Chain A
Amino acid sequence: MRMYRRIGATLKRTAIHAGPTILGIIVLDFLLLQLVPGDAADMIASESGSATAESMAAIRQRFGLDQSVLNQLLNFLGHLAQGDLGFSPRYNMSVFDMIMTRLPGTLLLMATALSLALLLGIIVGSVMAAWAGRWPDRVLSVVVLVFYSMPGFWVGLMAVVLFSVNLGWLPSDGSMTVGANLTGWAFVWDRLSHLILPALALASFFIAVYARLTRAAMLEVQRQDFMRTAAAKGLHPFFIQLHHALRNALIPVTTVAGMHLGNLLGGAVVVETLFGWPGMGRLALEAVLARDFSVLLGVLLLSSFLVILANAAIDLLHAWLDPRIGPA
């Protein structure tokens, strides 16, 4: 019962914070975008390499760019209040539909990358902590340092050269074999084989971060009195490491992971471009270059939603991991 109350309170607090945060993000984003030189019509003309005065005027009218900035903002907010993210004249499609075609790809990539980072990071960190100062720790420290200092896209490129070009094991681009009409395990493997390299590229930096965090946190916990008590009780060392040390060490790791979700979305732009992955990061980048601000605002809004949701999930996880963390 207490548990549910705690969860409820956490959710309520998140909801109260989320509303103003999202509104602030939208208005700020909108105003910042007005500072960018050039508009959608300029971009369309630039891609085409030719234009006429009439075609420029027609594009501006269609995008609503002939109206004042305040009108454009009010229009956008008015539509948003009715749950309408707007329409992209560039792609002749509603922004919501457009984002929905990309959202599953991004969620899959981010969830895989984050899980991979957490899983590998925590395992490696635990191993390093358990053998602190001895050779497994030393070797893994070097590996972790390499992952930490190499940019994700470089790891991705090198992995492509090795696994895709030289060995030919994994595909280098896209999210599936187009038009193969696969079913069952063949379908799962096809998707998975396309997912491995981009997820690795996106996760590599975070694996290093979580490994180091886990190592430090576990070493910290190991000096606590309750660890000595647990050992004195005669518990198996493995159980002590897992249940007493790791559970406590997970608090800083999960806190940081929650904050990293925003970074992951940012990193997704690079990885999605590199691997031709149909995700929201690329959509956002294309929208910026094309000055298609209705799409960009939609993506930003949804991303802020995602980050807020993820943080709520992390709060809940904390409440479960550590009963001392309750409603503030």
Chain B
Amino acid sequence: MMTTNRATRRATLIGLSTLPWTLRGALAAPKAGGTLTFMQNNEPQTLVALTTVATPALTVSAKVTEGLLEYDYDIKPRAQLATEWTISPDGKTYTFKLRPNVKFHDGKPFTSADVAYSIQLLKTIHPRGRNTFANVSEVKTPDPLMVILELSKPAPYLIKALTAAEAPMMPRHIYEGTDPLANPNGNAPIGTGPYKFKEWARGSHIIYERNPDYWDKSLPYVDRIVCKFLPDPGARSIAFENGSADIGYRTPVALSDLERLKKLPNLRFETKGTSYSYNVSSLQFNLDSPIFKNLKVRQAIAHTIDRAAIIKTVCYGYGTVTYSPIAPGLKEFHDPSPSPYNLDLKKAAQLLDEAGYPVGANKIRFRVPLDYNPIGDESKRLAEFMRATLGRVGIGVDIRAADASAFVKRIYTDRDFDFLLNGHSNLFDPTVGVQRIYWSKNFKKGVPFSNASDYNNPKVDALLEGAAVEIDPAKRIAMFMEFQKIVGQELPDVSLYSPLYLTIKNVRVHDDSLTADGVEGNMSRVYLDPQ
């Protein structure tokens, strides 16, 4: 599978051989050697994404700790530690054949016992694994190279959840009998991956060295990956500009800097390798708020929002309009039909009048505070955009700023808000990434990124619960389509856009984003032009 993919890519590139030399560099055979400097915004709290799914940890984890599968851009599985996989027709038995002769960095063999142990561990302590593997009732290991998962109910999303960063395969001999949260392996990991952990200088960098005993003898190409952390976006722009950083992902610079950086001859901008986690930004209403429990007010707001203008001003063009909480990137599930509430300020004004909010003094109908999720630098701009937009129909918006924890506490624990701007990752499947926002049983106080709106529609619940266990892909898609129609009409939130993330890299870096999770993957095939 891997070989076919590589062959097609080469064929495409040969077709483009009239391109300038910078692109043609990619045609040459990969060169061994060199140090790749990987620039990150924040330092991870642990180097294995077992007990956390925070972005900094996800970014580094897979270099050392691999998964059973990797995925192409359309989230179709490919071999990593598992070479073959089959799912029984009833969707309740998964069989994996493991790659033979794989060794952990400490020399111990990787076997089915490690897989069985890891899946149990993920099911009990991984923040998302608790849900993803909830239906796994038994893990059988008939021989050292075979693993069978028995499920109590089908879980059609499970086969997409097995990347290195999402479901890391841990060394059982290091974890068994210890408290996995306190295990020192989190700070100095041992895995099967293409790179061995060498050094973590806190606050400064992590060094990974090439693993000479990697199961794919031809890989990896680079001798060393150095991860550096630079929290200031302006400083990161400079690091890319002067060549002290080779690669960074999820648009590691301020959007306003992109235009300038794009003119530099030493940088390239990659949009591939982001399909494992599409985000959707939305305006969520608190349906318990006396103002927003009125559908007419929500409709009026939907009528005022110009998504194209958001893309232009807030996202500097780096985003895609969406009317649905399922991102356009998840092509098979996404419903591209526009919102029933088109851009119409007159209609909005009329709806607000009907709702009992006539224009008062200073052309203001009512004032309401707006909260926003402070993660990501466009959220504040989006809040300002909303204030201007809603001001045009007489809704006075007071923006309320908070840092991340204070925001999470206000929204999900105190529920002291009226409406908010938020972002949710769709992850690899709507059951994992989208269901949580609309499922009435996931209205849980104190649980961040649950059903913040307190939306409760039995029909939607039934659709989501049905899609979670439906093994016929066509039926499953139909269920999600109907779900999107309903939430599009009932407006527990207004979906706005899906940000387009760029991987910024030096021209000397090649083959960094070959999988759905791109730079978050094991980066075994990345190579550098000699300096």
Contact = CB atoms under 8 A, between A and B. Distances in A.
A165 B241 contact: yes
Contact of B405 (A39, A278, A279): A39
A89 B181 contact: yes
Contact of A173 (B35, B187, B239, B412): B239
Given A164-B238, A172-B239, A274-B232, A179 B226 contact: yes
Contacts of A52: 127, 130-131, 447
Interface stretch (A67-75, A124-132, A143-151, A282-290): A282-290
Nearest to A292: B45
A262 interface: no
Interface stretch (A15-23, A91-99, A206-214): A91-99
A172 B127 contact: no
Given A37-B402, A48-B53, A56 B446 contact: yes
Interface string B431-464: 0000010000000101111100000000000000
Give the most central of A43, A46, A91, A168: most B CB within 10 Å.
Answer: A46
A4 B238 CA distance: 52
Given A52-B130, A92-B187, A160 B238 contact: yes
A37 B405 contact: yes
Interface in B192-210: 201-205, 207
A54 B232 CA distance: 34
Interface string A161-175: 100110010011111
A282 B406 contact: no
B404 interface: yes
B177 to A, nearest CB: 17
Contacts of A263: none
A49 B449 CA distance: 6
Which of B229, B410, B413, B447 has the largest number of chain A CB atoms within 10 A? B447
Given A51-B449, A172-B235, A165 B242 contact: yes
Instruction: Bin chain B's interface residue count.
Output: 35 or more
B99 to A, nearest CB: 30
A35 to B, nearest CB: 11
B228 A178 contact: yes
In this complex, which of A39, A52, A161 has the most chain B Cβ atoms within 10 angstroms of its Cβ? A52
Contacts of A174: 204-205, 228, 244
Interface in A33-71: 36-40, 42-56, 58, 62
A10 interface: no
Contacts of B373: 46
Given A37-B402, A38-B405, A168-B242, A50 B232 contact: no
Contact of B238 (A93, A172, A278, A283): A172
A36 B375 CA distance: 18
A249 to B, nearest CB: 38
Given A50-B449, A165-B242, A44 B52 contact: yes
Contacts of A326: none
Contacts of A275: 235
Contacts of B203: 101-102, 105, 278-279, 282-283
A38 B407 contact: yes
A318 B432 CA distance: 66
A50 B128 contact: yes
Q: Shortest 5 CB-CB distances between A and B: which pairs? A: A38-B405, A278-B203, A47-B54, A45-B448, A278-B204
Interface of B: 35, 37, 42-43, 45-46, 52-56, 125, 127-128, 130-131, 181-182, 184, 186-187, 201-205, 207, 224, 226, 228-232, 234-235, 238-239, 241-242, 244, 373, 375, 402-410, 412-413, 423-425, 436, 444, 446-450
27 contacts: A36-B405, A36-B406, A38-B405, A38-B408, A40-B405, A42-B406, A44-B54, A45-B127, A45-B408, A46-B373, A46-B407, A49-B53, A49-B424, A49-B425, A50-B128, A55-B130, A56-B446, A56-B448, A89-B181, A90-B45, A92-B181, A92-B182, A172-B235, A173-B235, A178-B207, A178-B226, A276-B231
Given A38-B407, A164-B242, 12 more contacts: A42-B405, A42-B409, A45-B127, A47-B55, A50-B425, A52-B447, A53-B444, A54-B130, A56-B447, A172-B244, A174-B228, A282-B231
